[in-house]
Amino acid sequence: MDLRLDTIPVSEWGFFDESIPPLVIAGPCSAESELQVMLTAKELNSFGIHVFRAGIWKPRTHPGSFEGVGTQGLKWLQKVKKEFGMKVGTEVASEKHVYECIKYGVDIVWIGARTTANPFLVQEIADALRDTDIPVLVKNPVNPDIDLWIGALERLNQAGVRKLGVIHRGFSTVEKIPYRNDPGWKLAVELRTRCPEIPFFADPSHMGGSRAYLQELSQRAMDLGLDGLMVESHCDPSCALSDAKQQLTPDALRKMLESLTVRQKVTNDAEYNENIEQLRAQIDVIDENLIRALASRLEISRRIGEFKKAHNIAIVQASRWESILSTMIEKGRENGLPEEFVSVIFNAIHESSVAEQNRILEG
């Protein structure tokens, strides 16, 4: 089901040149000095980056780490606007940050992953933004909780924020993976499906945590049809005070953007449209058959539940289920289906069957 938000299309923001996709927001992780900000902005502006980002307040895990230069950095962003005509943006995590951004003419703000996870702070920020015209981007929460993400969008929208977008930066994980954060593309696709009308950015910098992964993650975002990228770029990443490993020089960013293949969302190609509609019609028939088959299976599960109740038998028969799952995984493998895919599908079916039988036993 789509999430209905009262929003203004990104084409009416006046921020991006949409004739040259993707939409790009770039700049250093942190504003560290006026010289660093101005040098980076000048280089980014030279090849068409129109929206400059820089962290002013940095939420750090440990005290004593560089936590941003604070309000004085907003003066440097003002100078970027004046000298290069760029839009400027930064992260906000409190109403005080919002009021300071308004005071210094910041054009766009975003809510970070840690803040998105706190409804109290999101509401505080939403109230501070009430009656303003500042676009707000919302990063996914640290953990893969789509309701927290959606709830943040709803709070902002209810406060009158109509220029809304999202940033996907991946999720914290204890698993050993090559990236800084688990990309979790599945959740991004789900939110994209539920909120198709709002601009959707990927943040490959925080997702990857290393320059080595930025191109592949950016390309994946393009393959999925996301609208744009927020990428960290520093005039000299080697001396960056935060997240040095994941920042690109402006020239490296230019080359990366040039290497990307941007996928079209629609086309007027008659052959493509005719063939894709035929294939989709076939999928529709298969989906209808799947629904009928699942309904028949669940009805048999209910009959089994009635039979178990009559004979005072426990619902879950672990050995039986393990045998079924193992068999289905093997049959899936024979038909070219990944084990994880088959496992997810049949575990969901099993959970529904158990729930139905439990309802019968309690009835």
Residues forming beta bridges with residue 111, ordered by sequence position: 92, 138
pLDDT tens, residue order, the chain (363 aa) = 456 799 999 999 999 887 788 999 999 999 999 999 999 999 999 999 999 999 999 887 788 788 889 999 999 999 999 999 999 999 999 999 999 999 999 999 999 999 999 999 999 999 999 989 999 999 999 999 999 999 999 999 999 999 999 999 999 998 899 999 999 999 999 999 898 899 999 999 999 999 999 999 999 999 999 999 999 999 999 999 999 999 999 999 999 999 999 988 888 888 988 898 999 999 999 999 999 999 999 999 999 999 999 999 888 888 889 999 999 999 999 999 999 999 999 999 999 999 999 999 887
SS3 per-residue string spanning 282-330: HHHHHHHHHHHHHHHHHHHHHHHHHHHHHCCCCCCCHHHHHHHHHHHHH
Do 111 and 147 meet the contact criterion of CB atoms below 8 Å apart? no
CA distance 97 to 75: 14
For residues 251, 254, 256 and 259, what is the CA-based torsion angle, rounded to 10 degrees?
-130
